[in-house]
Amino acid sequence: MITDWHTLNREPSLPGLYVQAASRRKITGTTLPDAGLRCWVDVDPKRLAAYRNVCGFADNGLLPPTYPHILAFALQMQLLTARDFPFPLLGLIHLSNRIRVLRPMGGVNRARISVQVQNLQPHAKGATFELLTTLDDQLGPLWEAESRMLCRGVKLEGEPVEEVLTSMLPLSEVTRWKAPADIGRQYAKVSGDYNPIHLSAMSAKLFGFPTAIAHGLWNKARTLAALTDHLPTANVEIAVQFRKPVRLPGEVTLLASAAGSSGDFQLLGAGDLEHMAGHWQPVT
């Protein structure tokens, strides 16, 4: 697929995009648009500091490996609420996320974000697609990500293909932490992601959840912050699959293999309930 790129002069405004998202509840097709969006964005030091605080990252002079998601969020929202995007944004399920840090992300004050969707595939519960995001600075590609999203109720021909991450290396406990009842609201303030399922038990129940659940990307960010000493700062790919949601409030335990160029990790809840599984390896 050839992407039809559209360049924006400024970041989209989130309030209007949330209105659009709330007004669209129906599946309107089974074809992904070929349009992509690009925009130069500035890194706000105050917002970055707040993100580090909420996710547990130390200020080491580098952008946290998950922070480009925050820079890209408004652009992603505009792409996923556009008229030619066939699925309602509210109700999409984030199944997995893969990021690649291509170069050390130090001294990044301004960068170009690009977003597009591709690879529509049948799934046992509907259909999946990939939301692709890239970050470039003046020297070229710096960071890229693939988020696999599920839309329930879509019917496509073909056999579903499932990829399952499994730990191949011995894991030991690294740390554990509590996810407070308000972490969804805290993360929403720094990310812009005000999905109702994360904000309160009352709003989550409107979408079929008994209580609020933590953002998947907060779980990943909090995990990578705890694994800072395990992970390379660049030339690294970090993939996760989101399993059972972390109900709020909750407590989780992080297991990981030894530090090195490759490794595995796992986020567990009470009764060894698996919330997230992942691995890191050199970019190939």
Cα(49)–Cα(133) distance, integer angstroms: 22
Write phi, then psi, for 204 (nearest 5 degrees): -70, -35
Q: pLDDT at position 25, please?
A: 82
Residue pointed to by tokens 């030894």: 258
* Predicted confidence (pLDDT) per residue in 204-254, tens digit: 998 888 999 999 999 999 999 999 999 999 999 999 999 999 999 999 999
Q: pLDDT at position 162, please?
A: 74
Question: What parts of the chain have a pLDDT lower than 50?
Answer: none
Q: pLDDT at position 164, please?
A: 74
Under 8 Å between Cβ of 236 and 281: yes
Under 8 Å between Cβ of 36 and 116: yes
How far does the chain reach from its first CA to its final CA, in angstroms? 23
Cα(124)–Cα(148) distance, integer angstroms: 14
Cα(119)–Cα(242) distance, integer angstroms: 19
Q: pLDDT at position 167, please?
A: 72
Q: pLDDT at position 1, please?
A: 66
Q: pLDDT at position 212, please?
A: 95
Write phi, then psi, for 272 (nearest 5 degrees): 60, 30
Q: pLDDT at position 22, please?
A: 87
> Of 158, 183, 155, 187, nearest to 252 (Cα)?
183
> Of 56, 21, 60, 5, nearest to 192 (Cα)?
21
- Tell me: cis bond preceding 249? Omega within 30 of 0 counts: yes
Residue 151 DSSP SS3: strand
Cα(240)–Cα(118) distance, integer angstroms: 19
Residue 22's H or E segment, with its range, is helix 14-23
- Answer positive or negative: Cα dihedral of 10, 13, 16, 19: positive
pLDDT, averaged across the chain = 94
Under 8 Å between Cβ of 177 and 248: no
Q: pLDDT at position 45, please?
A: 96
Under 8 Å between Cβ of 35 and 68: no
Domains observed in the chain: 1-163 (3.10.129.10), 165-284 (3.10.129.10)
Q: pLDDT at position 28, please?
A: 92
Cα(101)–Cα(235) distance, integer angstroms: 6
